[in-house]
Amino acid sequence: MTARMISGSVTELGTKRTPPSKSTGKSYTLHYVVVNGESVNIGFKPIFSVGDVVTLNVEEKFGELKMVTAGAATTSASSSPGTKPTSFTGGKNTVFPVPHTHGDMAIIRQNALTNAVNWWNINNTVAMERDEAIEEMIKIAYKFAEFSSGHREERILRETGSKVIKAA
């Protein structure tokens, strides 16, 4: 089992009750968060709120992602109070394509900009002025965000007048 990192904003909170333990006979409540569309078991305590920006060290255990407790998370608490956890849905209430005014667009754009900067740092060999380079990175970020949100496919359908996108 290899650990990996997940970074982003917490978009959903949830809980799940375990069956009664054979040793104690008690049932426990496990807490979950959804970050970048991935549900993560964070254990027995609700330590995050919706809107927190987190970096989680996770690994797959028993068919789900579980937060590794040692050095597990760094949070930047949101200024608004967290919402009460609901029954865990595993991130299945997401929409795609993501509407332009949907709150997930902020997360998509943030992730796209991070990926654009990473792509730029790896692939850029052309010397540019700082402001010009920033504008180029933003153009790349918009391309990544358009793809991640499903807006690219919507645009293609509008432009072609088609109702189906054919696989390449």
89 pLDDT above the threshold of 70: no
> In the prediction, which pLDDT does 166 show?
61
Question: What integer is the mean pLDDT of 89-99?
Answer: 65
Both tokens of 140, joined, read 């790349």
Both tokens of 34, joined, read 């959804």
58 pLDDT above the threshold of 70: yes
145 falls in which pLDDT band (50, 70, 90)? very high
95 falls in which pLDDT band (50, 70, 90)? confident
Boundaries of every domain in the chain: 4-78, 104-160
As assigned by CATH, the class of the 4-78 domain is mainly beta
Q: What is the CA radius of gyration of the chain?
A: 20
Could you tell me which residues come within 8 angstroms of residue 3 by beta carbon, excluding any fewer than 6 positions away? 57, 58, 59, 68
Three-state SS letters, the chain: CCCEEEEEEEEEEEEEECCCCCCCCCCCEEEEEEECCEEEEEECCCCCCCCCEEEEEEEEECCEEEECCCCCEEEECCCCCCCCCEECCCCCCCCCCCCCCCCHHHHHHHHHHHHHHHHHHHHCCCCCCHHHHHHHHHHHHHHHHHHHHCHHHHHHHHHHCCCCCCCC
Could you tell me which residues come within 8 angstroms of residue 156 by beta carbon, excluding any fewer than 6 positions away? 162, 165
By mean pLDDT, which of 23-37, 78-92, 114-128 is the weakest?
A: 78-92
9 pLDDT above the threshold of 90: no
72 pLDDT above the threshold of 70: no
